[in-house]
Structure 1
């Protein structure tokens, strides 16, 4: 049996491990691709946002420069109109250009030829020659007197130098005044407004690359990464890359696989790609580690199950089988003795009883278990029975009177439902333990088979009470019975996090006045009575509004909650200090002294505030009270 169990356990566990591994593979791969898709979408969004920000900046710079340059051109025209003598020398025009902070200043007459200029070599140039200069002819051809033209930055006609020119019509004389500047800021902004510039400063991970493709020509206009990869992207074609908006694998130059994500923006297809080697860098390592972990779990589980089956089941079954084999052969004097588990002991004991008495085993087994004083009961039902077999202690353990138990045993379906109802509410953090009364607990082991159902019930009351007592002792001070400080902080933090919107709470730090003097003068026994009497006053505070704790020595804490105003909190604390002043402690010499304590508190309705900070603020307030006004309490402004 053990070999068969081991064989099938290994098969089942192996199938389970492989299934988990396959499921983990597909889920992990989908998650990996999903994360990479989100990452690329975020980075492409960042590229687009940077481009849009740069465009906005460029438009703003252009607008401001256009207005500024136009103002300078009009100022030049005004000076020429009011002081024609400035045209008499190049030096005067150079000074005027310097005052206006422009690089060039040109003045023409109606024929469109530059007659006066701050740049002597430009004198004599004709505005009818050259595309750039012809752009200002409409001013000369216009009949109006307030015409102007602002050109975009472009190479000038004379030297092909990148310049920005603004021309305005002269006042009172047919002609134009033109100023020119080197548009450094505008050119820098235009340079930043390119994908090449953005990509060159964009952070990329190992194996990642970015590209921008013109949707009209299908050419790559900017990229990061190796040139052969970019050539591979162009070979894939525009339509193929457009289908990668939700992520797709593409084969690039050299046959390498890359994961590609794209998005169209204002006539440009922006894309990001990463090689499979980089994408799956840690994936296969994680899959291998997962397989090794699962394999280790399988080996441990098989060994452990094999050991448990051998020790707890197989050995007992073999003993039962051997004993029953001898009995069936007529050796009725055989005694079956099986240990290792209470169930085997009960079963072997019952078999022995049946053989000896040769009577119906139900009553006999019940009496034997009852006599043994073991808090154990068992029940069994087989499909060919019209009743449920139970041992005598079942009613006692499940808190049922004899009449009720008898009624259930006559109705197997109702009995099964009753057990299931019992098992619907297990005790928190306990396995197979259920409440059977106000102070009563039972442990139920229950099995349903095709032929029926059976189970055992044991008394777990003492075990649960011992655990609860141990938990209480661990969390409460032995001398005063108040909560220990760590338990207090944990409980108070939970209450603080669950405050309602209209509630406030307060943290109170208390220190007993002159306690050391009492301890030193009258001894520790009197000091202990003093602490216990003070703790008793704290215990009398309403439990639905207060958590109380001994912090250490003569320091105590109160956490007040469930109020809507500070006035309610102060009313409660006023009552507490008033009650303190009525409590006298015997000093053992016929003398008595009243309890005196100082306190400081701070309140809040902020559920995000930590208890540590709240306690620290209350401690500071307590220090001020001890320093200025012992025997009373004070508070700080409510923190909201």
Structure 2
């Protein structure tokens, strides 16, 4: 009988396990593709939304810049009309260009030849030559004194340098006044509006990528997540664009199958893809884990039932009572083994089934959480139990050693105290997130009832680290790594507010000398290297006394604090300028130059002072130094 029972039990359970596994495999496979399709649709919609936003931003920037540039050109024409003597001096024209914040200023007469310019090498150029310059001839050929032309950004005729020019007719004299600017903001906005730029910054999982296909040209314009020699078949996409709108598979040059979802937008097919291997990787792992779990369950059930069948009722009512007492104390691992007659066997089986049902409900939840790979753990304690029920991941998520966790599990009071200690110091701006180990954070929900307590724990490490990374990137300049200007002012205001009575602080404004000349002569890459080298010098300032930031372009700020007297601040700045004068930057393989900067600072001990006012005063001092003693720093009397 025992062998027959064991044989048929294994046959039935094996058949049931494989039936459940087959059904689960079928529906899970369908769910995998559907979930991936939904994910890709969401991500592609986000890409399209980003493109739309960037296009609106680019249009707004262009409109604003056009109006601003036209105003500057008309201002230049007005100055030339009222003060024609300025045309005789390149230096005066340069000063006017700087005042108007333009890069170039040119003035012609009726013949269309540049007679006066802030760029001497452009004098003599004829507007009748070169496609870009000929664009302004309608002003010279017409009689409208209010005529103007705003060109799109394009390479200029003289140097093929990307510029944006605006020309207006001269007042009272036949001729043209033209201003030129480097359209940095517009070019940056155009760069951000490319699919390649968006794809490079869009988050993807392993094996995922994006591509964009120009339907008219029939070629890929941008892609991510693929090697250069592996491309989506544009012929299949163009021939059947609707085929992949609901998801489909395609084989690429590397011989692998890819699951692809596409959407059309403005004659461009935007697609997302993932290899079939990566798509089903987690699926097959889960199936394997489920199979192993069910096999173990089968073996445990078969062995347990076989053991119960072998037992006889020998211990009687007292043995049943003792076993039940252990169960009521919370020891659910206890098995009632009473044999000797059919009545005791039936009673034992009934008791064991009841206990098993109680245990399995909690065990199933724990096992499902474990095999699903979700970073989730839970615990529960009911009054009268001799241990705390926990899921397997709780120990690792709370950063508790195996020995301590074992001890706490059998001491419900100590376990509760441990949870309360963890919850004493929540993370800033996160009321339910706590640090349990370096770079390890959890979100903990804990509830106490009359019958006991319970709680749930989820892993919040990635969320916390991502927020910190985003906060850092939002508050620091990408090129130099220094604090951004807005963040600098927040830190400065906080320091000023908390400054001690016997302390002084200083606001320092710094401007690099001749930086525009370096940029124009050697290019922006050299200019960026020049800025980075200067930032390294600033980073050598003591962190416990200085907050440093990049204000914009070649302007920087220092907030010096924690000093007892202005003399200490002067000595610190003097040492900084001495180090700075010894630093050189390589411009070319043969050329180097010394870093030169001018600065101005204002010192105060008034905690009620306004940061904006101090910045303004330091800026005014800076401009005085730039005019009178470039390459050094100056100050105003202490206040």
- Interval containing the TM-score (normalised by the shorter chain): 0.3 to 0.5
Q: Give the alignment's TM-score, normalised by structure 1.
A: 0.47
Q: Which has the larger radius of gyration?
A: 1
TM-score normalised by length of structure 2: 0.47
